[in-house]
A = this chain, B = another copy of it.
Amino acid sequence: MLLVKVGGGATINLPGIARDLASLDEPALVVHGANACRDELAQRLGQPTQTVTSVSGVSSVLTDQDALDILTMAYAGLVNKRFVQLCQQEGVNAVGLTGLDGGLVRGRRNAGIRVNDNGKKRIVRDHSGKPESINEELLRWLLDAGYTPLLTVPILDEDNRAVSTENDSIVALLQKTLGARRVIHLIEAPGLLEDRDDPSSVVASLRLSELEARSRTTRGRLQRKLMALATMTASGCDEIVIADGRSESPLGGALSGEGTRIRA
């Protein structure tokens, strides 16, 4: 089984990925984002995506109730169903699901973010959380029956309420639970870059130990991604490929040596 994470950027080639899924010779489980669509919808609705910066300097999206509704419309509604449709057009029998459906991804709501509010520290609590368990039975049945699950946020928290989470964390948990040996991350870059401003500086391959060292020297989203990747390689994943989701054949490229390969 191939585990594929598809980024939510505006330039990700979803039709190309749907075509690639049709020519795979193994079952695939896909987790996708939709942040560009969410941000655009939020803008149109006059409720732009807000971020907060914790006292330790980490910036995160703040998911209040309105933001959660917008996220659900963009991720579970528009992008998920567009992606399902593209797959169906290529003969891939995709089933779009969120972590809520069938209790597919359950987790815990975050305790809150400690922020500096005009010199006073306070806790901001939003509708975000961390995934902790997977409904393996439902996923395995779908995969065995020939369906291609397309998964996205939100997920369920401990009170069965919807919370947002990092898709990278869902992918890491799926890898561990299902024992996936190979994980592909399709992003809006040709791979992991030595210099983020130089697209030709793709790191062709990396060892787990190097990945951990890098995650200590980066910040923000990339740091969280690298840390999620490090978890996977530590739990039995043979290979992680980070490749260009914008290319003509994103999965094909990833499977034929393009991008960055991380090996345990």
A binding-site residues for B, Cβ under 8 Å: 41, 44-45, 69, 72-78, 80-82, 84-85, 88-89, 93-98, 100-103, 137-138, 141, 145, 147, 154, 156, 159-162
Q: How far is the CB of A88 from chain B (nearest CB, A)?
A: 4
Asked if residues B84 and A73 are in contact (CB atoms below 8 Å), the reply is no
Contact of A77 among B78, B147, B156 (CB under 8 A): B78
Q: Which residue in chain B gives the minimum CB-CB distance to A104? A: B95
Contact of A93 among B41, B80, B103 (CB under 8 A): B103
* Bound CA span A95–B77, Å: 14
Which of chain B's residues have a CB closer than 8 A to the CB of A44?
A: 45
* Bound CA span A181–B191, Å: 56
* Bound CA span A12–B262, Å: 51
Contact of A162 among B85, B101, B138 (CB under 8 A): B85
Asked if residues A100 and B74 are in contact (CB atoms below 8 Å), the reply is no
Contact of A159 among B82, B89, B96, B98 (CB under 8 A): B89
* Bound CA span A156–B141, Å: 23
Q: Which residue in chain B gives the minimum CB-CB distance to A44? A: B45
Which of chain B's residues have a CB closer than 8 A to the CB of A162?
A: 81, 85
* Bound CA span A160–B75, Å: 21
Q: Which residue in chain B gives the minimum CB-CB distance to A88? A: B160
Q: Which residue in chain B gives the minimum CB-CB distance to A137? A: B145
Which of chain B's residues have a CB closer than 8 A to the CB of A154?
A: 81
Q: How far is the CB of A143 from chain B (nearest CB, A)?
A: 12
Which of chain B's residues have a CB closer than 8 A to the CB of A93?
A: 102-103
* Bound CA span A154–B93, Å: 16
Which of chain B's residues have a CB closer than 8 A to the CB of A161?
A: 85, 89
Q: A89-B160, A159-B89, A161-B89 are in contact. Are A101 and B76 (CB under 8 A)?
A: no
